[in-house]
Structures are given as structure tokens and as C-alpha cells.
Structure 1
């Protein structure tokens, strides 16, 4: 079983705005074949820029003609002049790279827009110049987000060190504010930092500290099973999966893999994937542990799975989904991708099987990632009903 992940940040956009805020959405999933050919674009961006670029170029041509020959000649000649100008610029600039082409065209039109605004005076195309300048200004927050993503993408020890230094700088700034502006301002600053940090850590799907996969490509949902292997639940779940021809990802705990090595090998032998779920499953402290313990939890689990089952996991899921500040540099260095989920029903703490099944399977969509657990009182009963539902959705 090999299913590729879809991230909300994963799209074919070239403009910073659509790269950040365009999302993947149904449009990108629908373009899977063209994406494989390397010819797809972000559809909404393609429509927007396909209208915006000719419009601004046309208005620039109209303004030039209007100043040179008057309103009526400008109205009659604007369409052929626009096509001529676009072709001359396209062939003259020879921009084969889409990203380079976007920025050259955007800045070229931005220079014209800035010149128009600086000249002042009444002109029928001034609104287009202002609109284009606004579009360029909109790229600034998107560029900041992309810059943040790049910094959060630093892997390994350099990434851990960078994040540590960044945390010291932020908290140092809070101390300075406390000292200079008083305890009220310092407390408010601290509350903002804590709120931001909690949002990033306690939301399993948060991508602020690094990329997280929540959906997969392919027909039907993907079943993921955490906290195994378990001597009673794992064999039963494997038999159910075989019975219905459904494949799953088992996010296993390193200590349990050592305790039940034959079950880990059996999961792989039956065609399922093993995911990294930390070595000791520190569900109460994973969110707050430091960089070196984070490294040990993830790397030791990875090593254990490789030694026992002979496979190298490619997906990681934190206990309870609570990744800490230092998780992504570790997972990136180990070649792991962080996976969350789109559906959960708290089956590890609830006993209402009907309610759990309903919450997990209602209105399933292709690519949904379902979260279930082993080693619970309802694991076997729940697994059978959910697996049957997944089989129906894939068919």
C-alpha cells in the first residue's frame, strides 16, 4: 500500500498569496493526472491572473494610446495593442520559469502602476493601477508566511538550535517589555506568547511549527490505528482487514514493538504500513519535553521498528497529536512526515460504539484519515464496523 499525502499548503501556485492562502482543495485533487504530467496550475490562481495580467496590460496600452491619440483611437486600438504588447514582452523577456515570470511581470506592471499613481491627475485607468499596487501589497504577508515556513523547515540539530535561539529571543523580548513597561504589559505579552504556542502545539492539524498531512490521495478513506501492537487486538484487526481487503497504517509504540516483535512483523507481512508513534508514548508530556528527549523518543522508535520489522517508517504521529516545538526538525532529519487526521471520535476514552462509528464514518470523503486505537475495551468491536464502512467507501 502506497498512498501519497495532500497538505493544505501543497499546491501549484507561483504567487505567494495563492501559495499560502489558496489551499489544496478539491481543485488540486481533481488535477492529479495533470499534476503527474507536470502541467497543472493552481486553478483559482490561473483564472485570477489570466484575467488580471491582460487587464492591467490592456489598461496600460489604453492609457498610452489615450494620451497619444485621444479616447476614440484608444478604444479602437486597445485590443490589438494589448495582444501586441503581451507578445513582445513575452518573447523579449523569454521567461521559461513560471515563478520568475510571475515576479517579472508583476514588478513590471507594478512599476507602471507606481508611475501612474505618482503622476496623479485624473485618468480613466487609475483604479487599475491602485488595484495592482494593492495586489502587490497583498503578497507581503504571504511572503512573510513563506519565510516562516522556510525557517521552520530547517532540519536536524541546526533546526533545534535555531528554534531554541528563537524561543530565547522571544522570551527575552517579553522580559524587556516587563521591565520597561511594567508587569501588566509583560503579563499581556506572556499571555500572547502562551496562547500562540498552545495553538501550535495542541491543535493536531496546526502547521505553524511545520507541515502536517491530514489527507491522502486515493479512493476511500485511510484507516490509521494507534498505540499498538497489542496481543489481543492486533491479530483480530489484521484478520478483519484481510477479510475486507482494506489496508491501514499502524502507528506503533517502540516499547510495544520490542515486547511483541512478531506482531510488528506480521503487520508488515500482511501489507500494511508501520508508522512511528514515539518510543514510550509520553502522552502527558510530549507537548512540553525538550529537544534532546524529543529526538530520543522519535529516533529510538524509528530504529526499533527498522531492527524488528525491517522497514523504515515514513509517517510520524505524536501521542494524542500533541507535537511539541522541536518535533519537526527531528522528523525532517529522520525522513518522516507528520500525519494528523480528519476524523477522530475519542474511542480511547469513550465506550459508545454506535456514537463512535457514527462520528468516524458520517459523510466520509475520499482521502479522509480516520483515527482509531488499539488496547481499548471497544477496539475489536469498533474495528469491524469501521473497516466494513471503509470498504464500502472504497468500492
Structure 2
């Protein structure tokens, strides 16, 4: 994604407020976009905002879907409210109100999954210049508890422009929200030489010349897709003999990409992940390589069991596979889907020297 953003606090003192935005890299070359708004202004709202932003990053790190992430974030807000109410009277802020929009874009499938908690809906500008709001289930604001959040998925063709923002951008004393949304759509649809220029166009069209009456966060993201030449996938039989074929397929693909220096580490990683899926998972089993900024190996199956890293004892015959993967990969982890899971490992294109080869083993 190509990203541009603006943040304008309402308060002249401190230069901070309760609105925030974030862009978080995820596994599988995906990207999470976040915009949130804590009710209130000043240092208390800013402090709460910082805690929620940190919580979102922690939850995103375990690859939760948007609706599940907001459910956990709702629990965080409830806990923060309880702590504030139990504190000294001079510091207690009572109930904490907040809204949030969380989106995950997948450059392979070109799909974007979004969920919102009482937040204003995002806008999307298609390549023909048409700007519309995405029809998302509204969801309750954070902190109410016990109410569900619902995610929606949209196909975003390459070059689509996604706009996330807070209500301070579209609300003003001289017009209502509907008028603000109309102005936003007009501003987003105007041709501009860059996303930075689009940000300026939007702010000039919707905000007064002086400081806004409410905090404003604006996050623009133009989508880019990974082509078929950057992704390779295979179906793997649930049979141990299929591991050798998986290694061979991976070696041939790395040769096509000119990544022969990663052959050993990738084959070993794939071998361990595929073996684990055959032994402990459920078919169908899939293997995928993504060549982006790094090489990503993914093995998926329909079991929901999460693999755990453990230290094998001296005479154990197993238990060392994930330890090897953790040593070879820059990062690795597991993400769950509606059905099944994917175990992934991200490999650096400059592996450490001194690794053995299959022949030497």
C-alpha cells in the first residue's frame, strides 16, 4: 500500500488528543489499517489513546480477524473504565468512550476485511474516480460490552484509494454529517498528483482555516497487488511421502525467482511445516510461497490446533521442528481463519553464512 496521513489536534496545548491512526504489517504481505477516536480531549484522552493503540498492535500481532480484534479491544476499554472509576476521585475519568475502525488488506486476493466499533464508515475511490462509502455493519462503540461486532469483505481492485478518518473531519458547526460526507466524497474524487496532495485537498475542503474544533485523523491508502509471478501455491497430499515433492516444488520455484541462496533454509522450513501439518493437522493441506520484500512460506490446513514451540529433551524423537523454523526465520507465527489455520515463516533473502546443504546432511 501507498500511505499518506494527517493528524490535527483540536487543543492548542500539548499538540495531542484522543484520535489515532496506525499502519501495521501483518503476515502474508497483508497490511492492517487502524483509525480510532477516544471521547474527550487533552492529556487524559491522549493517554487512553496511547493504551488502546498499543493494545491494537498487540492484538494485530496475533493475527486476529477484524471483528475478533474489536471484541478484545472492547474488553480492554471496559477494564480501563473500571480502573479509572476505582482510582482517586481527582484522577478518575469514569466511563471511557471510544470508536475504532480496523481493516486488513490482502494484496494477493485483493480483498479487504473491515469491522467498525461505532466509527464513521470509510470511503473508497475507484480507479474511475468515483468515491463512495463502504456499507459496513455499524457495531457498538467500544466499552459497552456483550454486543457483537461484524466484519465485511470487499474486493478492492489495484489502485483503489481507501480513506479512513475520524468524525472530527466531517462534523462542523456550519454543516451536519451528511453534508460533511458529501464534501469528503467530492474532495477525494478530485484528481491529485499524489496522496499527500489529496490529504491537503480534503483538509482544505472540510476544515476551517484555523484550528479544528475537534481532533482530526485522516489515513489514505492506495492499494497495490502482488502479481501471479510473485505467488506460488500447491496442494499437498496428507502423506509423509509428499514432503519430498514439496521440497522439490519449492526448489524449482526459487530457481525461477533467482533465490537459489535461500534453497536450503526454505526447503528445511517447508519440510518441517508440511510434516507438522500432515502429522497433526487435517487435510486439505496447502503450501504457498510469496516473494515480496521477503520470502514468506505458508502451510495451511483445516485443523484449529495451534502449534507451540517447546524444547525437546535429549532422547525425544520429535519436537525440534518449530525450533528449527524459529532459528531460520526472521519471523514466524500462526493465523486462524474461519476454518483452519496457516503457519507461516518469513525468510530473509540474505541468510547467515555457514548453513549446511542437504548433501552434507
Question: What is the TM-score of this pair, normalised by structure 2?
Answer: 0.25
Pick the structure with more helix per residue.
Answer: 1
Pick the structure with more strand per residue.
Answer: 2
Question: What is the TM-score of this pair, normalised by structure 1?
Answer: 0.23
